[in-house]
Amino acid sequence: MAATEENFKDYKRVEKKALELLAEMRATNGQTVDIELALLVAIFELHKGTLPAQTIGSIIQGHLKQIIPYYAAP
């Protein structure tokens, strides 16, 4: 298997876990804004101590630029 295929499979496994976590968060009847903020905090915590906050924000913005077209499509 090519490295890119393996990387994609790894990504899909992590994505599946993230969506399961989202379902659990929704089940707690949390407000949407609370869930959004908690997920963003999790990203900052993922990089805490290794990257400055500005860099983490840039990473988030870069990822958003990539996925927005996917979700904007009809």
DSSP 8-state code for residue 60: H
Q: Give the integer Cα–Cα distance in Å for 15 and 23.
A: 12
Token readout for 42 is: 């999790």
Q: What pLDDT does residue 1 have?
A: 64
pLDDT per residue of the chain (74 residues) written in tens, 0 to 9: 677 999 999 999 999 999 999 999 999 988 999 999 999 999 999 999 999 999 999 999 999 999 999 999 88
What residues does each domain of the chain span?
1-30, 31-74
Token readout for 34 is: 């609370």
Q: Give the integer Cα–Cα distance in Å for 52 and 31.
A: 29
Q: What pLDDT does residue 53 have?
A: 97
Model pTM? 0.82
| Residues 11, 17, 18, 20, Cα dihedral to 10° | 150
